[in-house]
Chain A
Amino acid sequence: MTLKVTVIGSYPRPPAEGGEFRLRKTLQALDRGEVGPEDISAAEDALTEEILKEQAELGVDLAADPQVRWDDLLTPVAERLDGFSLSGLLRFFDNNTYFRQPVVKAAISREQPLLVDEFRFASQKSPVPVKAVLCGPYTLAALSKDEFYGDGAALLADLATALNQEARDLQAAGATVIQFDEPALAAVPGQPPGDLDAFAEVAPVLIEGIESTTILGTYFGDVGAHGRRFYELPFGGFGLDFVAGPANFDAVEGFPGDRILQAGIADARNTKLESVEQLRSIVERLRGHAEELWVAPSSGLEFLPREAAQRKLQRLAEVKS
């Protein structure tokens, strides 16, 4: 069995206690009109590079752009696609953080690359391979307000087409792993699970022409409600959150052994540090289910302070060694 340490995506922007928080200061200076957008880009570049080096040093085998340029998971995609405008802030699932709600005002189309430059930059700067991560069509549709289509299937189909174009460009830019984040497919506590049938309709469109490894990333809940049909979706691997979704321990029965299991096993939303023994025992439970097991934090690490995020990654690396 292959065991790798990976991340889900986001990473804390603040420095460890006592460090200089250049990006925050530069953004504040922008508000005061003292610096320009190029200074923001430079600060974002520097922080991205710093985090990618840090992740590699902590033992991450497969990194991701730490999303320090993003306000939330949806905005970078929604604001660059044609057809969306952005509205008020809503809570992002069961977190004390928000997303700006995209509003569909016209037919969705992709007239320009969305995240290709960011991916290129990250893969150039990272000492280890980098996967491309982007919000999937189902979550984007589920969290948006549709004022144009009036037909969920049509909106989802256009989003899948647009994001497929993006995935093709990411592949051309060298992404050998592409992760589509679909937290809305999981049963997040207090919310019903996503509509698997609706997503299954567009999943083939989403990955058409993609030879790179595709990962369907879920987190904040479990996928138990979908049964084995979840694993019939045409992805190279599936991301499951075993912290927020303990029911995934049951749902992993029937996992197709030839796919990658990306297992979120360290709590990315609480500072309490798991012991190596705890994590090892989870790995033992999951070991038989897939030939390739990628262990990861349960979601993006941005919910933690920097030091706590570092400790979580370090722990995951210790489990591997």
Chain B
Amino acid sequence: MTEGLLTTSVGSLPKPDYILKARADFAKGRISREDLRKLERQSTEEWVRFQDEIGIDVIVDGEQYRGDMVAFFAEELPGFTKGGLVRSYGNRYYRKPVATGEIVREHPITLEWWKLAQSLTDKPVKGMLTGPYTICDWSFNEHYETREDLVMALAEVIHQEALDLKAAGARYIQVDEPAVSTRMDELDLAIKALGVVTEGLEGVHTITHICYGDFHNAYPKMLELPVDQIDLEMTNSNYDLLDTFRESPFTKSIGLGVVDSHSHRIESVDEVVDGIERTLELIPPERVFVDPDCGLKTRTVEEAKDKLKVVVEAVRRVKSDR
């Protein structure tokens, strides 16, 4: 049996209809925060059990209680003010937070959710954080003099959160930095900030997820990001990056996105097997984690389940063929 090739998810999973309704009801003041929390705990439990049952190795809590990955943290951090709606693409909008004062962390943000998810399974549950560079890049800044000042203030608070997750027993901590690929001139800043976040996390497998960028420009500099694993969307770019890895080896563990998070189509097991096999020509299985391209929250519950089953089935087949 091949070691490695652990299956996982990038983070978010779709919210079932009852959560969407409850969130809308809560926003309109029809139900209490505790009513909403109860349902969010229920769907978290459903997702953890589903992943466990189909054989996912490293579990996520599915982020049923988060709206936007940046706004969720901003809402819990004094110094941020809730912002207005801004379009991200198509008919999708998000509330872009505004840094209006000094950013501090008064209490843990994700810890209770991680503990809940971990209590439901014997498999490891990933701690899921949004990185300081991305929170800065996706916020307005009315307080700090420079972007660097804001990024480094955020690095400190996310670091505190990571230490709490480690102390609670998290063996995997992922710090999402999708914005890192935005500005090559700030890659050093993102690396420095991630270094602050992951300081003191010895014994924890640290991960960062990057997406939607010109990775070819960022590579191999990207390998300086101070984490054990970089999670990349490979399907969205037809595994183009493998050619780059041939020229300059990928030296970390890779989170290998093998199903498209933004398409309704359910990939065939065959095509996913093919993508994994091509990757294994370049990176040994111990360093390959297999997952979807990105968070699956924009898929339907059924689509997400089907995609995750394809991931697990493809890995089983690759392992049995070796």
Contact = CB atoms under 8 A, between A and B. Distances in A.
Interface of A: 12-14, 17, 21, 24, 27-28, 71-72, 88-91, 94-98, 189-191, 270-272, 302-308
B185 interface: yes
6 smallest A-B Cβ distances: which pairs? A305-B84, A190-B183, A190-B185, A14-B85, A190-B184, A271-B140
A25 B181 CA distance: 32
A189 B141 CA distance: 18
9 contacts: A12-B86, A14-B84, A89-B262, A91-B181, A91-B182, A91-B214, A189-B185, A270-B141, A304-B86
Given A91-B212, A94-B182, A271-B98, A307 B91 contact: no
Contacts of B140: 270-272
Interface string B89-100: 111010010100
Contact of A272 (B86, B142, B179): B142
Interface residues of B, number: 30
A12 to B, nearest CB: 7
A205 B125 CA distance: 60
Given A71-B89, A72-B89, A270-B142, 9 more contacts: A12-B86, A14-B87, A88-B236, A90-B212, A90-B213, A90-B214, A270-B140, A271-B83, A308-B84
B93 A88 contact: no
A94 B91 CA distance: 20
Contact of B88 (A98, A190, A191): A98
Interface in B182-220: 182-186, 212-214
B164 interface: no
B239 interface: no
Given A94-B183, A191-B184, A89 B89 contact: yes
Interface in B59-76: none
Contacts of B181: 91
B146 interface: no
A28 B182 contact: no
A13 B142 contact: no
A302 B212 contact: no
Contacts of A306: 84-85
B137 interface: yes
B87 A13 contact: yes
Interface in B112-167: 137-138, 140-142
A89 B212 contact: yes
Contact of B86 (A21, A24, A90, A303): A303
Most buried by A among B83, B137, B140, B185: B140
Contact of B237 (A12, A71, A88, A190): A88
Contacts of A71: 89-90
Nearest to B84: A305
